[in-house]
Amino acid sequence: MTTLTEPVSRPQALVASRLRVVLFCDIMDGTQQRFLDAYEQLRHQVAAVPGHVSDQLCQSIEDPSQWLITSEWESAKPFLAWVDSEAHREMVKPLHGCVRDTRSLRYNIMRETAGDETFDGPAPVTDGTVRHALTFKVKPGSESAVAKILAGYSSPAARVDDHTRLLRTSLFMRGNRVVRAVEVAGDLAAALRHVAQQPEVRAVEEAINPYLEEARDLNNPESARSFFMRAALPAVHHVARSTVPGKVTRYALLYPVRTGCGAALADLLAGQDQLAAAEPGGVLAAATLFQREDVVVRVVDLTAAPETSPEVVLGVVGDRSEGVFARLVDLDGHELSDGAAVGRFLAECRMDLVTDRRSKDV
């Protein structure tokens, strides 16, 4: 089998950096005390969440209706596990009746200076593109109907505002799971709000509503918020070659992760992608890992068909990596004994491409 240097360290993008979360709150008139009472209860509950470090509540000195909640976490992993949970949705319900609008921003702490102490976090993302995905399941048996609806929508305008553009949307299905990966230049939250407001997009979302495993009502703010929290699939790692000769084709893989092994699998695959992208003449032009709990999706841009380098495309180059991989995923009787066997399991993981659209008016 093909061999590359074995991973010797955790990829820089997945190094556990502390996380700063900033929540902007616009409070409705007459509900300030209600908001403060709700926050007083909430802050003690959040303090007991594993991974929470601290939080602050701030009020604008220019507009008393504008509040800011900042919190620090040991890393993104415990925060994302909590914010996507049913416990979080129940915890924040008392705030809904007094908050007109909110906006949440999440930042890795990259550099810090406190007196003589300094801290350097992971390497910053510098290509200017924000990557994010949404995933949800549809009712078994409805896959063909859903794929037809999702493939037939009209793309919304790429320009969101003076600072934000939609770059690309790639939509895949595997079984009854749908994954929509987006690339945005600028403000991801602004881009998602822009897309959700477009008539052509709303029509598609309404058309697939009857087929969803979990019901939603996008006209109900609480239902919509709950759906997007459940569907969020953050990008945890991205790597790309600086120059890529020839044509590039996009594929996606959905891994059958063993219970509790999602983060470990993401670590392994990120290390494999770092090495593959550095290999001269390799087929991997770019790779993005999306992971939340045990849902792991890898979107890869390749310069050749996946079958030409199945180990690289699957992310199992080297005997040691194959052994670790086999402990983290459910092989369902497959063995990774040679390239042909890896290729067969690769075919089991590949998602079907529904649509892949680059914005034309950027």
CA dist list (Å): 313 to 23, 269, 278, 288: 38, 10, 14, 12
304 is a domain residue? yes
CA dist list (Å): 14 to 198, 267, 281: 35, 7, 26
How far apart, in whole angstroms, are the C-alpha atoms of residue 263 and residue 77?
8
Domain CATH for 241: 3.30.70.100
Whether residues 177 and 269 share a domain: the answer is no
Read off the pLDDT of residues 181-195 as tens digits, 9 standing for 90 and up. Answer: 999 888 777 777 777
8 is a domain residue? no
Owner of token pair 């999702």: 150
9 is a domain residue? no
Read off the pLDDT of residues 111-135 as tens digits, 9 standing for 90 and up. Answer: 778 777 666 655 555 567 888 899 9
Whether residues 50 and 98 share a domain: the answer is yes
Whether the pLDDT of residue 152 is over 90: the answer is no
Whether residues 228 and 242 share a domain: the answer is no
Q: Single out the residue in 64, 92, 120 at which a domain terminates.
A: 120
Whether residues 239 and 328 share a domain: the answer is yes
Both tokens assigned to 249:
């084709």
Residue ranges making up the domain that contains 40: 19-120
Q: Single out the residue in 183, 214, 232 at which a domain terminates.
A: 232
Whether residues 27 and 88 share a domain: the answer is yes
How far apart, in whole angstroms, are the C-alpha atoms of residue 181 and residue 204?
16
The contacts of residue 155 (CB under 8 Å, 6+ apart) are: 169, 200, 357, 359
More confident residue, 192 or 6: 192
Q: Quick check: pTM over 0.85? A: no
Whether the pLDDT of residue 313 is over 90: the answer is yes
Decide: residue 271, CB within 10 A, 0-12 exposed, 13-18 middle, 19+ buried: buried
Closest CA to 36 of 23, 27, 48: 27
Order of strands across the sheet that contains 352-358: 249-254, 295-302, 284-292, 232-240, 129-137, 177-185, 165-174, 352-358
pLDDT value for 45: 92
* Over residues 207-211, mean pLDDT: 92
Domain count of the fold of the chain = 3
